[in-house]
Amino acid sequence: MTGDHPVPADAPDPAGPAGSDATTVGVRHGMFGVRGSGDTSGFGGLVRPVDMPGGTRPPDGGDDDEVVAALTAALASRGGPTFDEAVEKVVVHGGQLTLHVRRRHLPAVALTLRDDPALRFEMSLGASGVHYPDAAGHELHVVYPLQSITHNRRLLLEVSAPDSDPHIPSLTRIYPTTDWHERETYDFFGVHFDGHPSLTRIQMPDDWEGHPQRKDYPLGGIPVQYKGATIPPPDQRRAYS
């Protein structure tokens, strides 16, 4: 994979309070935000901004400050990237702690979260893709929910990559349970997980073109053959006003 992507000039200040420096990364038109395809939802006239919550200034209270402090100390003791080098932004939003990690440091952060006794996030609950087509340089996001059974805590690791270089390191060697989840994220969003043992489609046919859960994927679908009959895309079956 190539080096980390640049942070946009209007990116939120990681030290700012959550919500006060939220960044608008796009504007959604219609229910699903797609263009050039029939909107069968009935919400074609809907227009709303897509906002990302800003960073959270400590102290936040509770376990979140303990997790951030423990991770800061653990990274420093391992001689790898420092917390500030590895983490772009800390967000506490809706009661959920999220660490926005620079993609080249994702394995180091995940390994530290798993192995350090003060952290012990032993379990990854999967991987989910998100697509923000108007967020220049940050279009593709992957979110890993982590669970500490030892300390009864949860947090989210979030990492982003640009459309022009959709690569992030795979976490399968650290959390084997992410194997199929990363394949699904590749299948539906086109994120390439470098180091994955078998990065192939998991639900769509191998020769499928495109990634169906991206916001720029045609909403109307494609004609479907079923026992010799052809079913047209939804936006060609009837008129929607």
Measure the CA–CA gap between 26 and 7, rounded to whole angstroms. Answer: 16
- Token look-up 């989840």 returns 181
Q: Is residue 9 part of a domain?
A: no
* Number of separate domains in the chain: 1
Q: Is residue 50 part of a domain?
A: yes
Read off the CATH number of the domain in which 76 is found: 3.30.460.80
Q: Is residue 146 part of a domain?
A: yes
Structural domain harbouring 86: 23-236
Q: Is residue 166 part of a domain?
A: yes
Burial readout 14-39 (b: 16 or more C-beta within 10 A, e: otherwise): beeebeebbeebbebbbeebbeebbb
SS3 98: strand
Per-residue pLDDT tens listing for the chain (241 residues): 334 444 444 444 433 334 457 888 888 887 766 666 666 677 778 888 888 888 887 776 678 999 999 999 999 999 889 999 999 999 998 889 999 999 999 999 999 999 999 999 999 999 999 999 988 999 999 999 999 999 999 999 999 999 999 999 999 999 999 999 999 999 999 999 999 999 999 999 888 888 999 988 876 656 666 666 766 666 666 655 5
Q: Is residue 15 part of a domain?
A: no
Q: Is residue 119 part of a domain?
A: yes
